[in-house]
Structure 1
Amino acid sequence: MSQIVQTDFDWTLPSRDYRDPAVYERERQEIFARNWMLFSWSERLKQPGDYVTGTVAGYPVFVIRDDAGGIRAFHNVCRHRGAQLLTEESGHCGKLVVCPYHSWSYTRAGRLNKASDFGSDATFDPEAWSLYAIDAEEWRGLIFVRLKADGPTLVEWLGPIHAMAESYPLEQQHYFMSKNRDCAVDWKTYGENYLECYHCRTMHPGLCAAMDIENYRIDTYQKERFFHLHAPKREGGLTRGLYFYRFPFLMLNLYDWGSSIATIEPLGPGRIKHINWYFFNDVSPEKAEENRKSVAWSAEIVSEDLDIITGVQRNLDAGIYERGPLSPKYEMAVKGFQDMVREDLGGSRPLHSIAAE
């Protein structure tokens, strides 16, 4: 079998990196746990005691509005025997978070309130037996969490995105609906597809009709670890928009009239939940049909992507395909994304000058 000799290609990550459980476990610890993760939106936590539960990189967690009106986040695990404290997707817990297993209770700040009817003369230091806290911050109506403490604040993590998005009215927008999907796709497979439009003419006729694909470009901010996607509208298309991908998987599509905000929940090597929320300035009944059409248009583009990259993932899992060359014209943002993965996992593999057979 002949080989292709080329000295100036950059190459994809090896296919094993998209399916190897050991690689995924390193990603959990070194990438997912160290970055801010989009978790919920502020309108769900209006009053002290309101909470939202979820899973972040395999860890059950919850966010709660505390007595002072701030937000706090904790692993959703009782310190006694490891029970899940809050079992509903969202709700209101009253003054205390009470374990449904043995009734240990905690304040909204996570401090142990009482080890109910424990017996003998045992006492527990309320601070030492507090819930396992994780970082939580709000940004313009969105709630983020971080599993490993210490590191940049949320605004520092967002970097230039914070200022670039300032004129878009996120605080005036209200939740309209979600479109969530479990997919047999690795988070890197999804991110790499998102960060190139090499496939757009083939895969996205609706997008090409609305956007000037000839002038589509992606600017990579390697140090700040985000990508700015430029998609000029065609005449009669959408109003101005601002499009970001913040590594590892925060996607912000912002408009004057609404937002499509997406993230990934990694479920394992080669598996994700794709989470997409839609917000609009006007969510009145009169605007509902127009808003639904906007959501359907956006969701169709995601479906087109998932249809093709589910097949990509199957081939990555099968073990025939090993790696491929990256287009210097269309896939430089993919290279930037893969370099971020390599950096976070402790180094970079050498680039090769000869393609696999």
Structure 2
Amino acid sequence: MMLGNDAAWSLPATAYNDPARFATERRMIFETNWLLFTWSGRLPEPGDYVTGTLAGHNIFVMRGDDGQVRAFHNVCRHRAAELVRGESGHCGGLVTCPYHSWGYLRDGRLHRAVNFGSETVFDPAEWGLIQADCEEWRGLVLVRIARGGPSVAEWLGPVADFAAPFPLEKQKFFSKKERVVDVDWKIYGENYLECYHCRAMHPGLCASLDIDRYQIDVYDRDKFFHLHAPARNPDATQGTYLYRFPFLMLNLYDWGSSIATVEPLGPGRIRHINWYFFEDISPEREAENRRSADWSAEIITEDLEVITAVQRNMNAGIFQQAPLSRAEEYAVIAFDRMCEDALSPPEPIVVAAE
């Protein structure tokens, strides 16, 4: 089939279910980008920690005695035991390994290695916990597995400017919804980045927003997408949607925020994570906040019902590749290009001999 200038080819079906490709994505995309981990309200005091997984790594973040939040691999340096357990908790003065009682300070430095005698000396910094990069941004905690690189503010780029009018710091956690689904992270991202499907699949969204004026602005250099449409009437939900590659989603409304991400669990499998925040979470607002969160969650459910079947068909082997409309799916084309570019090693810099 020949494609004209108004169309482009999608990624091949194997891109969404190949274990070797997923392993490369984990190394070159997931580990090198800032990833959403938790929110600051879960870490009010020194010693408070939250656990989780990122790019297949067992991680915990903890607020130190100096007030800074740090991220550590949840791995003892002695025999690789898991140091802290549960979704969240509080450590005393030391993080103590439950296996052989090695102890670490809240900043990660080794404090004690039990029963090694006086002749074996461990450098506290060299034998401290293995760190990942960690920063707080407007009440959110982001972690990057690979150390070094741009700050969160630099990585976000224009996202920070678009989010500036929304009072994220004033918003309080209301609820969360997490679900494990058999969908590749790229299929989810592609679906998010087009409204070609909105009239067929999202009656609630179409009733609220003027879908005929729905736009997706692509910022290739910043790996960022701004999705927006005016409300159908002044009383309807006003919102803007920000997607930072590979999978940070800030859905900002006049009533609060729906902060979302995915955790890739393997080729063709993700955990979808959604947190809802409101300025007023008093009992008087409970019912209204619940309606707003449920409205947002229903749109995601409508998407997942269709794209899980897309994944099954990709896995079955009959579907090979799709033509994409440059009029309707231009952001999908840009997203796929970002995926491919991220897996391509940079061109070597050639210096001419003098």
**What TM-score do the two structures reach when normalised by structure 2?**
0.95
| Residue of 101, 105, 123 corresponding to 1:103 | 101
In structure 1, the partner of 2:352 is: none
Q: Which ranges of structure 2 fall in alignment gaps of 5 or more residues?
A: 347-354
Q: Distance in 2 between matches of 1:257 and 1:309?
A: 28
In structure 1, the partner of 2:285 is: 287
Q: Distance in 2 between matches of 1:256 and 1:64?
A: 32
Query: SS at the partner of 1:40?
Result: strand
Structure 1 position 242 matched with structure 2 position 246: no
Query: SS at the partner of 2:207?
Result: helix
- Matched residue type, 2:231: K
- 1:69 Cα deviation after fit: 0.4
In structure 2, the partner of 1:173 is: 171
How is 1:164-243 mapped onto 2 (pairs within 5 angstroms)?
Answer: 164-243=162-241
In structure 1, the partner of 2:53 is: 55
- Matched residue type, 1:6: L
Q: Is the 8 A contact 1:219 1:227 kept in 2?
A: yes
- 1:13 Cα deviation after fit: 0.4
Query: SS at the partner of 2:164?
Result: coil
- 1:39-68 Cα offsets, whole Å, 9 max, x none, are 000000000000000000110001000010
Query: SS at the partner of 1:278?
Result: strand
Q: Distance in 2 between matches of 1:244 and 1:306?
A: 19
How is 1:319-338 mapped onto 2 (pairs within 5 angstroms)?
Answer: 319-338=317-336
In structure 1, the partner of 2:155 is: 157
How is 1:70-85 mapped onto 2 (pairs within 5 angstroms)?
Answer: 70-85=68-83
Identity of aligned residues (%): 60
Give the number of aligned pairs: 345
Structure 1 position 7 matched with structure 2 position 20: no
Q: Distance in 2 between matches of 1:279 and 1:143?
A: 15
- 1:145-198 Cα offsets, whole Å, 9 max, x none, are 000011110000000111221121001000000000000000000000000000
Q: Is the 8 A contact 2:208 2:237 kept in 1?
A: no
RMSD: 1.3
In structure 2, the partner of 1:132 is: 130
Q: Distance in 2 between matches of 1:176 and 1:104?
A: 37
Q: Distance in 2 between matches of 1:304 and 1:262?
A: 16
Q: Distance in 1 between matches of 2:92 and 2:322?
A: 55
Q: Cα distance 1:6–1:257, how it changes in 2: closer, same or farther (>3 A)?
A: closer
Q: Distance in 2 between matches of 1:178 and 1:45?
A: 17
Q: Is the 8 A contact 1:176 1:279 kept in 2?
A: yes
Q: Which has the higher contact order (CA 8 A, sep 6+)?
A: 1
Deviates more, 1:218-227 or 1:255-264: 255-264
- Matched residue type, 1:121: E
Q: Is the 8 A contact 2:81 2:99 kept in 1?
A: yes
In structure 2, the partner of 1:318 is: 316
- 1:107-136 Cα offsets, whole Å, 9 max, x none, are 011000101233573221111101111000
Q: Is the 8 A contact 1:211 1:237 kept in 2?
A: no
Q: Which ranges of structure 1 fall in alignment gaps of 5 or more residues?
A: 349-357
In structure 2, the partner of 1:253 is: 251
Deviates more, 1:145-154 or 1:5-14: 5-14
Structure 1 stretches of at least 4 aligned residues deviating more than 3 Å after TM superposition: 118-121, 236-240
**What TM-score do the two structures reach when normalised by structure 1?**
0.94
In structure 2, the partner of 1:87 is: 85
- Matched residue type, 2:250: L
- 1:95 Cα deviation after fit: 1.0
- 1:310-331 Cα offsets, whole Å, 9 max, x none, are 0000011111101010011110
